[in-house]
Structure 1
Amino acid sequence: MADVSPPSSPPSDYRPSKGLWQEVKDAVTPRSSILLLGVLILELAFIVSYIGAFHSPKPSRIPLAVVAPAGTQAAVVGKLNGLPGEPLSAKSADSVGQARAMVLDRSVEAALVVGPATGTDRLLVASAGGPAAVTSLQVVFQKVEAPRRVTIVDLRAPNPADGRGLSSFYLVVGVIIGGYLGSAALAMSFGARPANLHRTLVRLSALAVLSVLSGLGAAIIADLVFDALPGHFWSLWWIAVLITFAASAAGMAFQVLLGQIGIALSVLIFVVLGNPSAGGVFPASLMPPFWRDIGPALPNGAGVTLVRNYSYFGGHDTATAWWVLSAWAVGGVLVGILASLRRQAKFGFMGRPQAA
């Protein structure tokens, strides 16, 4: 028997087409066109930033300590500082012990110990601070020291489970993403601009809890699960907490000031500009000036410095990084609170305009 059941009714969201041109006008509104343009700009900025930072790494004033026989040290330092393109920034060290200490406390990237006239020179490095810098120094000294031979002495290599020493960078990238996505998620759920001061404080509290859990998870993964950065669990935990909260509080501040555009600004700062300039893949001394200059001032670069230097160098050379991350975190909190107070004064505690 033929099926004579009535046709099913269309779904509630179905509507007949009004014609191609009308559908285009309805679907591609001026607002959506602006959003797509913004996406395109961010995409191209991403490509420009990453290729610009990484396409042609070239050493520029790499800090270097020099130990040489009496009477020749000043000449060696002058020769190294006078190399074409200024790949090195050399300064004298009084002894091999002092030079070693300077490498390990991150005062310099490497130290050259010049042997007798017919001997072999030693280049003291710490590849845990970034293998790319060591490779670049090798290339420089292959040209400078020929026909003399330079032996590389690695004072602090990455842990066996840390590969090329990039675990610090990837940990920071992960918690930065968690921070700004956490603030974006709250914005999409409850609006980019908090309704009042209480809502702002609740949102900041939620981001603080997220930061503590984010830091805990990062430390467990990096230390206990993969053994990539072992022996520094508590340091990694609370450093990762600060990095996450700095990104999330700043992200919330951008949203309070700019609405949904603030989310795009977070992506621009933390992903487009922050990641390539962080010093994870290439240290600052190998990057072009723009990325070299902005890296230490962004949470990404400060975070990589803290994680790497606490994991491998006893926390040396981290004061600036602590200040930078604290400034981003405190600045985000203050901007969020002050903007909410201003909004509350304008519209009243319950969201109604104040009487004149």
Structure 2
Amino acid sequence: MPSTTHHRLIAVIVLVPALAALALWAFTWPAARTAPRDLPLGVAGPPAATAQLEKRLEGHGGAFEIHRYADEAAARGAVEDRTVYGAVVVTPRGPELLTASAAGPAVAQFLQQAVARQASAEGAQVKTVDVVAAPAGDPRGAALGAAVLPLALAGIAAGAVVTLLGLRGVRAVIALLGAAALVGVVAAGIAHSRLGVLTGDWWAEAAALGLSALAVSGAVAGLAALLGTAGIGIAGAVVMFLGNPFSGAATAPEMLPEPAGAIGQWLPPGAGATLLRSVSYFDGAAATGPALTLAWWAALGLGAVLLGGSLRARKAGGAPTADRRELATVG
């Protein structure tokens, strides 16, 4: 058996288990370590009462990042603006918890349990108000969380197809833009019009979905334009093994172990999920950050596609010239 065959056999035997281990770690580690870490939580009410409440919340071992508000109206506005995931308001009638299940049903449930447990220990009952409720079509947020993987796969497929079909430069950019636009329209049609799991402005949702797909497809095609077909595997692996499990779409970035949550928000799947929540449930509140992240991924990817096409064109144009010079020298 030739040595090359031996090397390929060893590569398969070693790489397949390594990839399986990487995938298993990437998907199970965040799930196994899900817990709040500096979760933004508001506190509102009289200073004397809130001081005691803050002290008790700080006893949760860094679970919460406390934001102070003068009254219930200010705390409610912070929840609606996505500054905090919830707020505890101290009132003469007892504590009141403001939540936003649309920002993450798992987070809202955790806040209810944590605040209710603390209140019951003091002999009080907590009134819970869901300020921004999850849609009736997706009360547990499962559909939005499940949308991350198909969008990532669509982006990887678009970038790979453009590369394998040999599209270069401007043609490749046009193909990627067109594919992303269609993905956004189709996805909005299914998630909003058909299933009712998205409830915001239809075109804003389609734009967010399309931009998410473009960020991935641009990265895949751009890296492939610079590195060859190996770029498809590298970009695809980053999106699938880091972007998808670190997205925090099923819970929240602050519920993931550090630094997974932060990394996930810098990658297209996490930024896309956050942007989609903002435009669908919060009228675009806190949408600027994730939109810029996706725009940078898309711009860098498309720029790399154009650069790769230009380099290939120069290389192809320079080869005949070199050949002619060699022939002239021989002559």
Same fold, judged at TM 0.5 (above): yes
Whole-angstrom CA distance in 2 between matches of 1:42 and 1:201: 34
1:218 aligns with 2:191: no
Residues 330 and 38 from structure 1, CA distance in 2 versus in 1: closer, same or farther, beyond 3 angstroms? farther
Residue in 2 that maps onto 1:336:
305
Whole-angstrom CA distance in 2 between matches of 1:269 and 1:115: 48
Whole-angstrom CA distance in 2 between matches of 1:248 and 1:37: 29
Preserved contact between residue 172 and residue 240 of structure 1 (Cα < 8 Å):
no
- Aligned-partner residue type, residue 171 of structure 1: A
State the SS of the aligned residue for 2:317: coil
Residue in 2 that maps onto 1:180:
156
Residues 94 and 156 from structure 1, CA distance in 2 versus in 1: closer, same or farther, beyond 3 angstroms? same
- Aligned-partner residue type, residue 338 of structure 1: L
1:128 aligns with 2:102: yes
State the SS of the aligned residue for 2:176: helix
- Aligned-partner residue type, residue 62 of structure 2: E
Residue in 2 that maps onto 1:63:
40
Choose from 255, 263, 280 the match for 1:311: 280
Preserved contact between residue 257 and residue 339 of structure 1 (Cα < 8 Å):
yes
Residue in 1 that maps onto 2:242:
273
Task: Give the superposition deviation at 1:85.
Answer: 1.6
Residues 33 and 149 from structure 1, CA distance in 2 versus in 1: closer, same or farther, beyond 3 angstroms? same
Q: Which runs of 5+ in 1 are unaligned?
A: 1-21
Residue in 1 that maps onto 2:328:
none
* RMSD of equivalent CA atoms: 2.3
Preserved contact between residue 224 and residue 230 of structure 1 (Cα < 8 Å):
no
Q: Which residues of 2 match residues 335-354 of structure 1 at below 5 A?
A: 335-345=304-314, 347-349=315-317, 352=320, 354=322
Residues 97 and 351 from structure 1, CA distance in 2 versus in 1: closer, same or farther, beyond 3 angstroms? farther
Residues 99 and 43 from structure 1, CA distance in 2 versus in 1: closer, same or farther, beyond 3 angstroms? same
Residue in 1 that maps onto 2:21:
44
Residue in 1 that maps onto 2:78:
102
Q: Which runs of 5+ in 2 are unaligned?
A: 326-331
Whole-angstrom CA distance in 2 between matches of 1:164 and 1:97: 26
- Higher relative helix content: 2
Whole-angstrom CA distance in 2 between matches of 1:230 and 1:85: 36
Preserved contact between residue 176 and residue 217 of structure 2 (Cα < 8 Å):
yes
Residues 52 and 353 from structure 1, CA distance in 2 versus in 1: closer, same or farther, beyond 3 angstroms? farther
Task: Give the superposition deviation at 1:353.
Answer: 6.5
| Same amino acid, percent of matched pairs | 28
Residues 38 and 335 from structure 1, CA distance in 2 versus in 1: closer, same or farther, beyond 3 angstroms? farther
CA deviation vs aligned residue, 1:258-303 (integer Å, no higher than 9, x gap): 3232222222221111111112112011110021120110111111
- Aligned-partner residue type, residue 138 of structure 1: Q
CA deviation vs aligned residue, 1:99-139 (integer Å, no higher than 9, x gap): 111001101010101133xx431110000111111122233
Q: Which residues of 2 match residues 122-161 of structure 1 at below 5 A?
A: 122-145=96-119, 146-147=121-122, 148-161=124-137
Residues 28 and 339 from structure 1, CA distance in 2 versus in 1: closer, same or farther, beyond 3 angstroms? same
Task: Give the superposition deviation at 1:232.
Answer: 2.3
- Aligned-partner residue type, residue 111 of structure 2: L
Residue in 2 that maps onto 1:208:
177
- Aligned-partner residue type, residue 349 of structure 1: G
Whole-angstrom CA distance in 2 between matches of 1:314 and 1:231: 7
Task: Give the superposition deviation at 1:50.
Answer: 0.8
- Give the paired residue count: 322
Task: Give the superposition deviation at 1:144.
Answer: 3.0
